[in-house]
Amino acid sequence: MASSTLGTCSVALLSSTYPSSSSNHSFQSLSLASGRKLYGGIGICRIKGTSQFSVASVATEVNSVQQAQKIAAKESQRPVYPFPAIVGQDEMKLCLLLNVIDPKIGGVMIMGDRGTGKSTTVRSLVDLLPEIMVVAGDPYNSDPEDPEFMGIEVRERVLKGESLQVVLSKINMVDLPLGATEDRVCGTIDIEKALTEGVKAFEPGLLAKANRGILYVDEVNLLDDHLVDVLLDSAASGWNTVEREGISISHPARFILIGSGNPEEGELRPQLLDRFGMHAQVGTVRDAELRVKIVEERARFDKNPKEFRDSYKAEQEKLQTQISSARSSLSSVQIDQDLKVKISKVCAELNVDGLRGDIVTNRAAKALAALKGRDKVIAEDIATVIPNCLRHRLRKDPLESIDSGVLVIEKFYEVFS
């Protein structure tokens, strides 16, 4: 444990513990940019070239227990349909993959006919989700290195100079049921304990569990309005605040919002629709041979899930490696100024409100380039993602019969030609 002083600012540094296969200590240094930056009210002094984070390892016994628990938990889970086995829904699959690569894209809204595999596809994403570093025992999946993703208690421990035990954990995917109460979503405060013992007794909700993960809402267009407002607030600020009887508790709630629904059951409020980074339209497969293949594959899975999953294991692992590589190389992907200007021109000529369309299109194009193993965005990448980024942001014209995705593509070729 060390601390650095710059002027009057004294900062306790993180001492993090990583799971390791041996009992030897391993150390890692992170060179940080110079300067002082405020993260949620915490002043962090950064000195270039110095080690700000010292990292130690967990004992072998603890690690072996964790590994055994992980394996046991995985084997006891309900078998999930493999992601590579889903055919005929390439647009939806691509949107989901791009959001896993870059969570800042802002989630996916999947709308389409009933029985087209929307929920199956989203839940099959769980196996592909990479592991992230979290503070052990923390209900908010706090990031040990980024104060923006830390719960209040973890921040206080950091400032006191306490060491943090860090473990690797799969990114969470939390299902938000339609009948969920606001207390279940946001969390509850035990007023009696707070008054009698003088402590903030908080029971975290689904938003806490979804922090740094995925929040999936099936039939999102049937969600109660007050829950929609809660999701809007959290999606906008990245924080969830619960207030009861003069007691206020906040915690980070940054998540990828994924929603699915059937347009026949009702439209989404424009405010919520705009919060989704991408929009995927799912249609019923019309090709007879492909339909037969889907039915046969599903029958194989129902008959013997384990054997079916094993048959796709190689493809699954290949895709996992591809996602991991894309996440690592994402920061180095570049997009030319000329392409940025053309993206904004398409958005302007389509009368897209706000700048979210421009931002999301740039992010999605970079994520696609990273997925394809390139360090530079090309026009083809933009053509692939721009309908999904803009179609749900266009103003609805009741007299317009043309599909909004087609309208975006036509404008793209007009500007990029």
Per the structure block, which two tokens stand in for 148?
A: 């923006």
CB 308 within 8 A of CB 82: yes
Residue 327 annotated among the catalytic residues of the structure: no
Q: What is the 8-class DSSP label of residue 104?
A: G
Choosing from 157, 212, 356, 393, the catalytic residue is 356
Q: What is the 8-class DSSP label of residue 58?
A: -
For residue 167, give the nearest of 131, 209, 211 by alpha carbon: 131
Q: What are phi and psi of 215, to 5 degrees?
A: -110, 115
Q: In sequence order, what are the beta bridge partners of 36? A: 45
Distance of CA 236 to the CA centre of its chain: 14
Sign (positive or negative) of CA dihedral 356, 174, 148, 170: negative
Per the structure block, which two tokens stand in for 385?
A: 């993602």
Contacts 24+ apart (CB under 8 A), 189-193: 189/242, 189/244, 189/245, 189/247, 189/249, 191/244, 191/245, 191/247
CB 242 within 8 A of CB 190: no
Residue type, 354: G
With H, G, I as helix, E, B as strand and everything else as coil, classify residue 352: coil
CB 208 within 8 A of CB 253: yes
Determine the Cα–Cα distance for residues 181 and 188; give it in Å rounded to an integer. 11
CB 38 within 8 A of CB 46: no
CB 334 within 8 A of CB 375: yes
Determine the Cα–Cα distance for residues 214 and 130; give it in Å rounded to an integer. 12
**Is residue 92 within a helix (H) or strand (E), and if so which, with residue range?**
helix 90-101
Per the structure block, which two tokens stand in for 21?
A: 């296969």
What are the residue numbers of the active site? 356
